[in-house]
Amino acid sequence: MSETFTKAMARNIFYGGAVFFFLLFLGLTFDTMQTLPKRDHRENITDSVVRGKHIWETRDCIGCHTLLGEGAYFAPELGNVYTRRGGPFIKAWIAAQPTGAPGRRQMPQFNLTDQELDDMVAFLKWTSEVNTNKWPPNIEG
Amino acid sequence: MQFQSQAVAKPYFIAAIGLFVGQILFGLIMGYQYVVGDFLFPAIPFNVARMVHTNLLIVWLLFGFMGAAYYMIPEETETELFSPKLALLMFWIFLVAGALTIVGYLMVPYATLASMTGNDILPTMGREFLEQPLITKVGIVIVALAFLFNISMTVLKGRKTSISLVMLLGLWGLAVFFLFSFYNPSNLVLDKYFWWWTVHLWVEGVWELILGAMLAFVLIKVTGVDREVIEKWLYIIIAMTLITGIIGTGHHYFWIGTPEYWQWFGSVFSALEPIPFFMMTVFAFNMVNRRRREHPNKAATLWALGTGVMAFLGAGVWGFLHTLAPVNFFTHGTQVTAAHGHMAFYGAYVMVNLAMISYAMPMLRGRTANSGPAQTMEMWSFWLMTVSIVFITLFLTAAGILQVWLQRMGSTPLGFMAAQDQIMIFYWLREITGFVFLLGLVLYIWSFFCKKGEAQTAA
């Protein structure tokens, strides 16, 4: 780099750039927070949805599945599983694990109660209704 | 070694390499579960293996960063470390807490672990990469604060170089953004939004400051190029990192419930994120070409050059591949992401740590550089690990593209598992290549014990 471009100038670009773009990021975040209620339908977050999210977390579902595309890629996307399979199928599926089919990927048995299964479905139903800009591309997730 | 207190870096580096081995072994288990689904089930389900794999990675990189700081900062500030005793105490606390957490993952069902460790009081667990129990998270904060206190006090009483300030800024940023891991609202969209403030602002933000400072330090040492030149490069690289990377967070806000405008902000800014990595490559080669001395540690120079190239390929090119919103619409949450993740983490953070260890470890063992045969062995390990990560990335990319094609395009898309069955060959190839990586890692460790030849002791 040329001698006229000094270290002090480089340092100033760093500090100025970092501060400016972090403030811009905060501004965009503020705007996003204003817009989100219309997109996440938080009025539909019932106690059951809250409990369902807790079950989702404490069984580390994200360690195999994706949810809205984030997580592990070992098992199907679940952000739209409610639309793809429906509530009764989800409950029956979780209750029936593991399949024990030799050589196939296995999901653990979590021994969830019927209430807990309902909570799980409520959480997945709420998730499927979030406005995700039409993602995933199709029903297969 | 110019200062006695730099010696505390040694246990940090040893622990880092030990945990690295564990990370790779669990990676191999997961890779095998991809092809033989019920391998080790139910003893170690995939999600448990994955937690161990990713958490070990994070923890060993943190050990590497801390070791690097304890080695660099006394030399940069030209003063002894504020408290070597505190550094050693924190080493043991972090190591024991980390080991207990991994044992917890493996021995206790995750839900039981959660209720045993206070997750009902403040639920923070069960989110990708932040699976640690609450007490572990609190432990990380305590260790980080003690570490930062130690390093900051050292900088305050010594010479303040740009490298030490950038390192310090990166490490403080690391601690500050980790605090978002304690925020877990029951609204999933908010949860995801701020989860990225830890995850993205770490790896595509403040960690790059740490990376830049470590690379600049090693380059000064091995090339002897004037500090003013290197520090100017450092500032301009990290300026570009934050100018592109902060708003670049937007590439995670395409499909999680956040507004459409993030598709523009995220695409444009993250498309620029390769620039600082490209500059890093140019920087590393430029400095080595303009070197003013022939440092006997050729292996460290190789790792430093490799960091630039592989970080650019893995984080820059493979990141760009799927960062534009119209592309990401199809690739989001597929093996394409996994491909990028593997090469980016290896190329940026694994390699910079190994570059630092390669440079510092001989010094810590009382020599300027390892013997010729030991260095040759280390360079073999460099090529084995680097070439195998390139192939792992290529196989996962092929798997990802096919997955998108089969599952997300066309008029008769396949279901998830049906598509997985179709791309099995690439998972087999990835797993086989994983063993080559392990061979490279074994050779790397072996090089530390190579008795052949004379180590170079002249400064």
> Of B160, B179, B200, which residue sits at a domain end?
B160
Contact B413 A45 (CB under 8 A): no
Position A1 confidence tier, pLDDT thresholds 50, 70, 90 = low
Query: Domain tally for chain B?
Result: 2
Q: How many residues does chain A have?
A: 141
Residues B236, B384, single domain; the answer is yes
Question: Among the three residues B119, B142, B160, which one is the final residue of a domain in this structure?
Answer: B160
Q: Chain B within 8 Å of A47 (Cβ-Cβ)?
A: no
Residue A136 has φ and ψ, to the nearest 5°, of -75, 165
Domain extent for B455: 220-459
pLDDT higher than 80, residue A3: no
* β-strand partners of B366: none
In a domain, B409, yes or no: yes
Position B272 scores a pLDDT of 98
Q: Please give the residue of chain B at the shortest CA–CA distance from A112.
A: B111
Count of H-run helices and E-run strands, chain B:
19, 0
Q: Is A71 helix (H, G, I), strand (E, B) or coil?
A: strand
CATH number for B451: 1.20.210.10
The answer to whether B255 contacts A133, with C-beta atoms less than 8 Å apart, is yes
CB of B186 within 8 Å of a chain A CB? The answer is: yes
pLDDT in tens, A55-108: 999 999 999 999 999 999 999 999 999 999 999 999 999 999 999 999 999 999
Residue B174 lies in a domain: no
Indicate whether B306 belongs to any domain.
yes
Residues 6 or more apart whose Cβ sits within 8 Å of residue B340: B314, B315, B318, B319, B321, B322, B393
- Domain assignment present for residue B197? The answer is no
pLDDT band for position B458 (cuts 50, 70, 90)? low
pLDDT 10s digits, B117-132: 999 999 999 999 999 9
In a domain, B208, yes or no: no
pLDDT one-digit tens code per residue, B275-292 = 999 999 999 999 999 999
**Residue B101 and residue B132: Cα distance in Å, rounded?**
7
Residues of A in contact with B232 (CB under 8 A): 1, 5-7, 10
B364-392 per-position pLDDT tens digit = 999 999 999 999 999 999 999 999 999 99
Nearest to A58 among B110, B246, B249 (CB): B110
B189: in domain = no
* One-letter amino acid for residue B83 of the chain: S
Which of these three, B139, B160, B181, is where a domain ends? B160
Rg (chain A; Cα; Å): 22
Q: What percent of chain B has pLDDT over 70?
A: 100
Residues 6+ apart with CB under 8 A from B62: B94
Q: At what angle do helices B84-107 and B9-35 cross, to 10 degrees?
A: 20
pLDDT of A41 above 80: yes
Residue B190, number of CB atoms within 10 A of its CB: 18
The ipTM assigned to this model is: 0.97
Q: Report chain B's mean pLDDT, rounded to a whole number.
A: 97
Count of CB atoms situated within 10 Å of the CB of B20: 23
Confirm whether B242 is domain-assigned.
yes
Q: Which of B228, B238, B262 sits opposite A14 (nearest CB)?
A: B238
Within 10 angstroms of residue B457's Cβ, the number of other Cβ atoms is: 11
pLDDT average, residue stretch B106-111: 97
Q: Is residue B424 included in any domain, yes or no?
A: yes
